[in-house]
Structure 1
Amino acid sequence: MPLKRIFPYLALCIWITAHAAPQIPAERLQTLASDPYWIALGHYETGKLGGWRSYVDDPDFFLAGDGPSNPEAELRATLEAIYAPAGQGDKHPQCTYPARTRWLREQLQLSDLPQPACSEFKTWYADVNPHSTVLVFPAAYLNSPSSMFGHTLLRIDQPDIHENNTVMLSYALNFGAFIEGADNSILYAWKGLMGGYPGLFALVPYRDKLKEYSRLENRDLWEYRLNLTPEETGRMVEHVWELKQIRFDYYFFDENCSYRLLELLEIARPGIELTDQFPVTAIPTDTVRAVKKAGLVESIDYRPSREKELLARAEPLDDAEQQWVLQLADDEKLLDDPTFLALPAPRRALVQDAAFRLVRYRSTGEDRTSEIANRSFKLLQGINRNPPPELEVERPGLPEEGHQSRTWQLGAGIREDRAFAEYGLRMAYHDLNDNLSGFPLGAQIEILQLKLRQYEGNHWQLQRLDFATIRSLTPRGELLKPLSWQVAGGLERVLGEDGDERLVSHLNGGVGGSWNLGEDALGFALATARIEHNEDFAPFVATAAGFNTGLLWHNALGTTSLEAAGDYFHNGEIRRRLSLNQQWEVSRDLGLRLTAQREFSQRAAPVNEVMLELKWYHY
């Protein structure tokens, strides 16, 4: 065979020999495969029956067939793949897995790797230009099932964030459920609980997320600047590229937005152990607390929502001035009304600014019309002619400084002439009387609460099992008039025909209003409806209409509530209840509660019950 025909084959052999994956001793590969950083890159956890399993539920993420359960096989496949010919361009494994490639190059001192251009990744990385990281916590928003516990995301800042105030050019790194179609709230909650949605990472402009959370949903934002170095931030962003369009199962309570971001922080700073603290649930406030406890937080900034800013501006206005706010928000021509111009200039300045903020608040999420644009412009002209003082919004307590989410309960009491002990566990999260620091007055979210009661004579019974109890008691005012509402479902004891208690299943809800009765007190009144399965009733389910009204007061000791509730069933049964609760806030994570109630039913004599309960908030 002529030499010129043999030469190409020789060249190919030489190239393959020079660029083949090196032969690494098996012991060294095993050591690397068990390294915490490689485990983090593959999102592996120890399986319940031993071995490994990856949280990643997308086969496209893995190079080895058994990669989801075999970190060593995935490492071997990766090492072989990154030595593929450079001609694959952006499809080259080095371009697809830059974080894996960098780590293997450093660990094994690989100096002979092919050099693909990876232009797509390099352009993307240069556009993100990662330098520092901020953990962003949009506060809880009860009217959205996915946001009842708050949310967390990461903001990736560029080097000139402070010098040139380029925060709006930053990127938001978010993990969330990917929803196709328009599922209703009940279906959304069910799928979210059962892992019915895939979860995806997304890197989007921060200004878009800021608009979504603080304006569209009127949520306060807490920004925790982390002390990650530029190298650590860049390492995390490299891994985000590896996860683009890679699907995870999404669960509201554990494998959620907060948990996934903790995994990324473990990649940024190897050695910190954040996810190990959340074997059952990962509630956003708890994960923020874990990040802070790990020493990652450098500083904290607070961004109030549009609603909070509006209420703060209107707070010093009297009733007549607030009426002017409403009128100007509806008709900007009243700016020239002689009666309005007769107000002192400082008061007009406050009214105009409040009216402008109200117009913006009302138009949130709606298409901008010429009428709204003209009204806003006229109000801004008035503000420029007569500017108000700088708005100061009082910063609330830090959300992570509130009590822990899981609660153990131990109570002792008497029901009529029967003494009992009560043992309880609540998986999450807060009720109206719980220690208030870090939580808004009038908000309640309880998930999976179990209470067992032991009467004298060692008689045990299931007292209640609450699947969910949610209450939103937001006060109404002159400018904003939100509805208050509640919903609950589960098993509970009610008075029976023979004076005994019946365990019944129920679903109930209500809607109404709440009003401020002072700085730390509110009253509420709701119309309610109830569906109940009760063996004492003839039909399979019984329906009732009713009411729930009461007072809530946060005082020097803790929180006091006084409630009256009634259910009027279609079959003639009437139930009513009066209750008084006083919580003493012993410490952040310890509370003592006195409960007294009187129950009325047509099927039994009135029953009195008093209980003293110790609550330990413990994750």
Structure 2
Amino acid sequence: MAASCCAALHAAPNIPEAQLQALAMQPFWISLGHYETGKLGGWRSYIDDDDFFIASNGDSDPAAELSATVKALYAPATLADQHAQCKYPARTRWLNEQLSLTDLPKPQCQKYSEWMTEVSPNSTVLVFPAAYLNSPSSMFGHTLLRIDQADVDSNNTALLSYALNFGAFIEGMDNSMLYAWKGLMGGYPGFFAVVPYREKLAEYRSLENRDLWEYRLNLTPQETRRMMEHVWELKDIEFDYFFFDENCSYRLLELLEIARPGIELTDDFPITAIPTDTVRAVKDAGLIERIDYRPSRERELLGRAVELTDDEQQWVLRLAADQSALDDPAFGQLPEKRRALIQDGAFRLLRYQSTSGERDATTAARSFNLLKAINQNPPPLLDLERPDLPEEGHESRTWQLGAGSRGDKAFAEYGLRMAYHDLNDNLYGFPIGAQIEIAQLKLRQYENNHWQLQQLDLAKIRSLTPRNELLQPWSWQVSGGAERVSGKDDDESLATYLTGGGGGTWQLAGNTIGFALATARIENNRDFAAFVAPAAGFNSGLLWRNPLGNLLLEGKADYFYNGEVRRSINLTQQWEISRDLGVRFSAARDFSHQSTPENTLMLELKWYNY
């Protein structure tokens, strides 16, 4: 009898179907299930894991999932950690608020309670490590959330906080090219992870060589906790991971919509979700309370090197490589203030070098001796100017409208680039010498209404980082797609190609860098007898930051195995009209063994519009 009463006490209430259907269409429930409208109608969930859903068709029917959840909340409390209330605390809270479920059983959710106590969520910080071209997974930057305890500011304990990260799960050792391809095609599963913040920094060791931006959000403790309740529901749950849209940044926007119901962040990213764009969306939504900047070790080292002469930089290299150099009489004869700067530079160089390698006993001993010398003769504080805010740079998608001539033929050119920056683009918020262009299409309309595909880039990436006495980075580039090249009978042929190269970049003056790269190319061209023709060549030039914008002068050549030689010289100047508007003038002269030289002039309007 008692058992019967107890069962009746915890029976699911008889809620009208119309009420359940209405609740299932509420934006918050749609967010909890990560649903989107299907391409052919109906619903589908981004979550690619049956373990997340209670109803058999819960991934495509929000109403069925809601109804099944209500019933599951009334399961016997003896299920403990396996009870729906323990597995779905965010669902439980919301349904209880909407339906006044005052007679729910009270299971003991020990694992959830211990986890929530350990994380102790009180406030949220959006962390943006700046773009890092030498890592395919970080070319666009990355975003994660830091979950802080209540006393993080007063006790300066950010390293004791937790990092909330969404990322691809990679088994084995995929190389960079395979990683990029599988990331584009959704070849990796994605998972949320909550780990100590210090571990996440250690895992992303390259973060130490990337500027770090921390955007403290104005989420209340209640909103932060609501978000983390849902994160518990997503523990070990698999999503599809796509490099450009369903990525780290997009998933975090979904969580922020859970934290503060009513804000709309994901609606603006139907195709791509570039991290800087998502940071901008968070800012535009009024969620940012404060911005903190942490310079990378590389930026700190270069900031100190600016104060040193060439000879003093050589002393930095000696001290970093050999601790006995501290006792060299020639070093001791230097002025005390100069020795202080040199010692500090050597210590920073050691820290930078240890980022990419294990810290051995010899390096530790050199660091210790340098620290002792620094304590005895401290340098002035390093005062670095904060760089431009990355989210204040131009939008990622670019529309292009141009008019020009090739030889004696006039044309109009129409273009669209999905993402996101080249060497001439408006520079604010971007590092000079960095280029990432993805999915660029250009069409030309010649006289007599003759249309042709001029260019279709899958990807164009260039990293031109200047070399100096202390750091010797390689510059490199890679690109692939289809483009018009000089062909027979002074015509242009559409060739598909893949090219890459490496070399060096140097700072020639305060606002000018020069680069020289050796290149290799393979090309499919209807004018060639072979299906694929290889070539070797070079690409060199100057990039000048001037009052109007960026000017690029470059020359390049390809010497094909079949005897074809193709060379060109190009001059391009961008006028930065506003953040999201630019006017570009370009002039080029192309040489080919297959045709006479041709001149191309074009004036182009570029509108950066996501």
Which TM-score applies when normalising by structure 1?
Answer: 0.98
The answer to whether structure 1 residue 266 and structure 2 residue 257 are counterparts is: yes
Tell me if structure 2 keeps the 8 A contact 1:214–1:306: no
**Residue type of the partner of 1:589?**
D
CA distance in 2, matches of 1:368, 1:414: 59
Secondary structure in 1 aligned to 2:194? strand
Equivalent residue, structure 1, for 2:498: 507
CA distance in 1, matches of 2:122, 2:177: 41
Deviations along 1:438-497, whole A, 9 cap, x unmatched? 000000000000000000000000001000000000000000000000000000011112
The answer to whether structure 1 residue 302 and structure 2 residue 311 are counterparts is: no
Equivalent residue, structure 1, for 2:160: 169
Structure 2 unaligned segments of length 5 or more: list them. Answer: none
CA distance in 1, matches of 2:12, 2:455: 62
Displacement, 1:214?
6.3
Root-mean-square deviation (CA), in Å? Answer: 0.9
The answer to whether structure 1 residue 601 and structure 2 residue 562 are counterparts is: no
Tell me if structure 1 keeps the 8 A contact 2:205–2:355: no
Equivalent residue, structure 2, for 1:86: 77
The answer to whether structure 1 residue 489 and structure 2 residue 480 are counterparts is: yes
CA distance in 2, matches of 1:584, 1:222: 29
Deviations along 1:77-111, whole A, 9 cap, x unmatched? 11111111111111111111111111111111111
The answer to whether structure 1 residue 367 and structure 2 residue 358 are counterparts is: yes
**Residue type of the partner of 2:445?**
Q
Please show how residues 171-570 of structure 1 align to structure 2 within 5 Å.
171-213=162-204, 215=206, 218-570=209-561
Please show how residues 59-208 of structure 1 align to structure 2 within 5 Å.
59-208=50-199
The answer to whether structure 1 residue 58 and structure 2 residue 55 are counterparts is: no
Displacement, 1:210?
2.6
Displacement, 1:213?
4.0
Tell me if structure 2 keeps the 8 A contact 1:483–1:511: yes
**Residue type of the partner of 2:101?**
L
Equivalent residue, structure 2, for 1:4: none
Secondary structure in 2 aligned to 1:31? helix
Deviations along 1:14-67, whole A, 9 cap, x unmatched? 111100111111221112111111110000111111111111000000000010
CA distance in 1, matches of 2:554, 2:34: 48
Displacement, 1:212?
4.0
Displacement, 1:211?
3.4
Tell me if structure 1 keeps the 8 A contact 2:140–2:275: yes
Secondary structure in 2 aligned to 1:106? helix
**Residue type of the partner of 1:152?**
T
Deviations along 1:182-203, whole A, 9 cap, x unmatched? 1111111111001110000001
Tell me if structure 2 keeps the 8 A contact 1:141–1:217: no
Deviations along 1:119-166, whole A, 9 cap, x unmatched? 110010001000000000010011111110001000000000111111
**Residue type of the partner of 1:607?**
E
Secondary structure in 1 aligned to 2:154? coil
Tell me if structure 2 keeps the 8 A contact 1:214–1:220: no
Secondary structure in 2 aligned to 1:498? helix
The answer to whether structure 1 residue 585 and structure 2 residue 566 are counterparts is: no
Displacement, 1:238?
0.6
Tell me if structure 2 keeps the 8 A contact 1:156–1:170: yes
Tell me if structure 1 keeps the 8 A contact 2:572–2:586: yes
Task: Specify which of 4, 11, 14 is matched with residue 2 of structure 2.
Answer: 11
Sequence identity (%): 71
CA distance in 2, matches of 1:196, 1:467: 18
Deviations along 1:347-386, whole A, 9 cap, x unmatched? 1111001101111111223222111111110010000100
Equivalent residue, structure 2, for 1:38: 29
CA distance in 1, matches of 2:178, 2:162: 31
Secondary structure in 2 aligned to 1:343? coil
Which TM-score applies when normalising by structure 2?
Answer: 0.99
**Residue type of the partner of 1:41?**
L
**Residue type of the partner of 2:315?**
W
Tell me if structure 1 keeps the 8 A contact 2:467–2:473: yes
CA distance in 2, matches of 1:214, 1:384: 27
Deviations along 1:513-548, whole A, 9 cap, x unmatched? 000112221000000000001121111111111000
CA distance in 2, matches of 1:491, 1:594: 23
Task: Specify which of 22, 36, 41 is matched with residue 13 of structure 2.
Answer: 22
Tell me if structure 2 keeps the 8 A contact 1:214–1:305: no
Tell me if structure 1 keeps the 8 A contact 2:497–2:522: yes
CA distance in 2, matches of 1:98, 1:489: 48
Equivalent residue, structure 2, for 1:6: none
CA distance in 1, matches of 2:510, 2:350: 26
CA distance in 1, matches of 2:511, 2:385: 15
CA distance in 2, matches of 1:419, 1:143: 40
Secondary structure in 2 aligned to 1:67? coil
**Residue type of the partner of 2:367?**
S
Displacement, 1:217?
5.5
Tell me if structure 1 keeps the 8 A contact 2:123–2:147: yes
